[in-house]
Structure 1
Amino acid sequence: MMPLLGKGMLLTFTDVSARDERDYNEWYNREHIDDRVNLPGFHRGRRYAAVRGTPRYLAVYECDSVAVLGTPNYLQTLDNQTPWSQRVMARFTHFTRLTLRIQVDQTHGVGAALATVRFVPDLHRRNALVEFLSTQILPKLIARPGVLGAAVGENDLEVMHAPLQDKSMDHPRADESEWVVLVEGADVAAVGAAARSLFTTSRLRPFGVEAAPAITTWRFLFGNQR
């Protein structure tokens, strides 16, 4: 196994209008990923495009711990964006930011495809959920052809609500701690089918999950690490 590069993760789901898409993608590939990866505590950044649906873009950043995402140094970086960043971010039509504490890591390298599974469990059943996912679900998931590994993260509300100063983004407060499963694979269809098969409402209901999990498949665009 080749685990994630740290125990914390930042996810950003973004979208822009079609007329701004080229500049947005050039900015991400030529400036933004590298800027973030070079911050203290960050190690790897990757970005993806949705195979279908919206938002159309996902960025994944691996860091030492979720605490890195609430440090004064990091928050100061958010408040001092480059001119190119300010221009692109002002044109976001969608922005969701999740600061994850990694609860389970059974990853194996980096795949060309990713599925994300998002749901909100009862936090009083956290330990049972971690046990269930790590021993029952993820091993079955990873054993499927075309699937290479998976990780589970819990959104840390305290870190997510750290005071961000960038006025070009909307940062609504969340009251529920969302969980995200990231399924890595070599094939988009394989990771999507595996996620839909194993992450059903009936399997998650014992852990307080009331709504059907939101499952999206993504294709890899670009990444960098140090």
Structure 2
Amino acid sequence: MPLLGKGMLLTFTDVAARDERDYNEWYNREHIDDRVNLPGFHRGRRYAAVSAKPKYLAVYECDTVAILGTTNYLKTLDHQTPWSQRVMARFTHFVRMTLRIHADQTHGVGAALATVRFVPDPHRRKALVQWLSEQALPKLIARPGVLGAAVGENDLEVVHAPLQDKSMDHPRADESEWVVLIEGSDVAAVGAAARSLFTQTRRRSFGIEAAPTIGTWRFLFGNQR
């Protein structure tokens, strides 16, 4: 089964150790379900870091990335439940990405996830998507222990919508960051696949100046409708 839509919301978060129990209960019992039941949302999943920072990642699949910048969606950010307000006030780290999915070669839901974050030259977007779709992702998902992969680009206009609406406070993104998500049954397998994705020569060909940031994660909880 491919992703349930062409848009994706990623949130990277952390809290102090003393707040983790309440944080995890809130995510599993309220927040994922609230988001999944919004118009245009279909599935939410959350992960804990094996080798990544911050400690927690949440992934939400929706019809299109544009949904994440609509007035109706932003109103939900202005009207959080008391539990949500309490937990979110305790975040020690928060990064929000709104992805436009460029390639989807996923297959079901795996127990492990690797993320590869990088900033390419925007003028080489078309060639990058073609290489990922036709060469890189098929090669990765043929590896034992790897089940599927997808790639998305952070939509700067959409991700800044909450800032413009003054409903959330988070750092402004100045560059269009991309994320490759590699899913599988084994953390070591998806991590090795992630590390093999970009050689230095390949990075130069797409104008990727800094080394990609790679994280590995284990699945915690998910829900869908």
TM-score using structure 1 length:
0.96
Structure 2: distance between partners of 1:164 and 1:55: 26
1:70 maps to 69
1:155 partnered with 2:158? no
In structure 2, what residue type is equivalent to 1:31?
E
Q: Determine if contact 2:52/2:216 at 8 Å carries over to the other structure.
A: no
Q: Secondary structure at the match of 2:20?
A: helix
CA-to-partner distance for each residue in 1:26-66, whole Å, 9 max, x for gaps? 00000000000000000000000000342000000000000
Q: Does the aligned pair in 2 maintain the 1:37–1:225 contact within 8 Å? A: yes
The answer to whether the 8 Å contact 2:8/2:60 transfers is yes
Question: 1:148 corresponds to which letter in structure 2?
Answer: L
Matched, 1:38 2:41: no
1:13 maps to which residue?
A: 12
- The amino acid of 1:8's aligned partner reads G
CA distance in 2: counterparts of 1:113 and 1:153, whole angstroms: 18
For structure 1, which segment, 91-100 or 198-207, has the greater mean C-alpha deviation from structure 2 after superposition? 198-207
1:130 is aligned to 129
Aligned to 2:174: 175
Aligned letter for 2:210? A
State the partner residue of 1:119: 118
Q: Give the equivalent residue in structure 2 for 1:165.
A: 166
Q: What secondary structure sits across from 1:109 in the alignment?
A: coil
What is the rounded CA distance, in whole Å, between the counterparts of 1:15 and 1:213 in structure 2? 21
Which AA in structure 1 matches 2:213?
A
Task: Please report how far the alpha carbon of residue 164 of structure 1 lies from its aligned counterpart in structure 2 after TM superposition.
Answer: 4.2
Contact 1:115 1:183 in 2 (8 A): yes
Equivalent-residue separation in structure 2 for 1:99 and 1:66 (angstroms): 6
Q: Is the 8 A contact 1:188 1:217 kept in 2?
A: yes
Q: 1:114-169 CA distances to partner (integer Å, 9 max, x unpaired)? A: 00000000111100000011111101100000000000000000000103433xx5
Task: Flag structure 1 segments of 5+ consecutive residues without an equivalent.
Answer: none
Residue of structure 2 equivalent to 1:54: 53
Q: CA deviation at 1:201?
A: 3.6
Secondary structure at the residue paired with 1:27? Answer: helix
**Aligned 1:204-223 pairs, distance under 5 A:** 204-223=203-222
In the comparison of the two structures, how many residue pairs are matched? Answer: 223
Does structure 1 retain, via aligned residues, the 8 Å contact 2:53–2:215?
no
Whole-angstrom distance in 2 between the partners of 1:52 and 1:175: 26
Q: 2-side partners of 1:3 and 1:204: how far apart?
A: 27
Superposed CA offset, 1:87-136 (max 9, x none): 00000000000000000000001100000000000111100000011111
Change (3 A) 1:195 1:84: same
Distance in 2 (CA, whole Å) between partners of 1:66 and 1:17 is: 31
**Is 1:95–1:170's contact at 8 Å kept on the other side of the alignment?**
no
Q: Percent of aligned pairs with the same residue?
A: 85
Q: CA deviation at 1:171?
A: 1.8
CA distance in 1, matches of 2:20, 2:200: 35
Cα RMSD for the two superposed structures: 0.9
Q: Within 2, Cα distance between the matches of 1:153 and 1:115?
A: 14
Tell me the distance in 2 between the aligned counterparts of 1:215 and 1:66: 23
